[in-house]
Structure 1
Amino acid sequence: MSLLIKLFKALNANQYPGQIALSFVLGMILGLTPLLFPHNLLTLALVFLLRVNLSAVIVSTLFFSGLAYLLDPVFNQVGLWVLHIESLQPMFTEMYNNAFWRILHFNNSIVMGSVLTAYLLSLPAFFLFLVLVKTYRARFLTWVNKFKIIRVLKGAKGAGFLSEVMK
């Protein structure tokens, strides 16, 4: 519950919408791809190096992890398609014979398909999340703040919790 409160605080705070959108995208990448694989070290490094909202990353990761189980057959098909491209076979063979590339598990069709799908969707998802955050702030937040009960609760001494959430 406190994670969701922190997420709503971030949505309502003065953080740049791009920071929150990037948080959702990094969480999407972590959620759609198998978590305990080396390719996620890059994503985790970005989470810790960039100014992103950790709550948004965690919520997004949890949501897209659930979605990834439903999309595994699609990821498998995408991965099989890429791995069976005839012109890429010599490169894949050479990579598999190198220990560094082998630990990335690129030869696993679900890993290949999920990583490829997640990275290809990251740019469109960033702009979608950016529009959603801006729309939330422009329309929904203003609409919620119009309710008299919200204004009363934000001003009441005993409503510090709600006041913090709706800031």
Structure 2
Amino acid sequence: MAVKKPVKATIQMPWLIYDILNETYLRGRTIQDDTNYKEVASMFASEDEENYEKVLRSIKKGFAEIKTELAEYLDESGLETSNAAISGEEDLVLALTMPSNFNEAATAGLGEAAHDYLKNVTVADWYLVTNKQDAEAYVALSQKSLENIRKSVSKRSRPKRPEKPANP
């Protein structure tokens, strides 16, 4: 009988937060002109307390959505939850138990799609407050990332033909 495969995807918080802050910076920089500098400045997410808490709350919500999507594969028990804030210092880990025929080549795609989903859903939440005209684009990007998560966990390896027994 085949054994299920443990798969672990770690989302490193410093890189995720950097990516979120950088995304809002780059988007703002591309639309800035001599008349909208104040609006553009508010688009930039930062590590200032009031901004950072909003970013962390959105990341937590997005990670919960990923876990709901992957519930059948999660290798954890949880009959309790809390609305406490998450730390920007602790990495997010998806510990999955995948079927024995899971195609391991999809593991990297799963991690990247999870990172991308968290980035896009957080930027979408941020822009709902600071830049409504771009928020829907990031909602759409997050949905595409969620679809990539689904595709990654659905990849299976082709069965292998048994080898012929050696002639005695």
After TM superposition, the score normalised by the length of structure 2 is 0.29
More strand by share: 2
Question: Which structure is higher in helix share?
Answer: 1
Q: TM-score of the superposition, structure 1-length normalised? A: 0.29
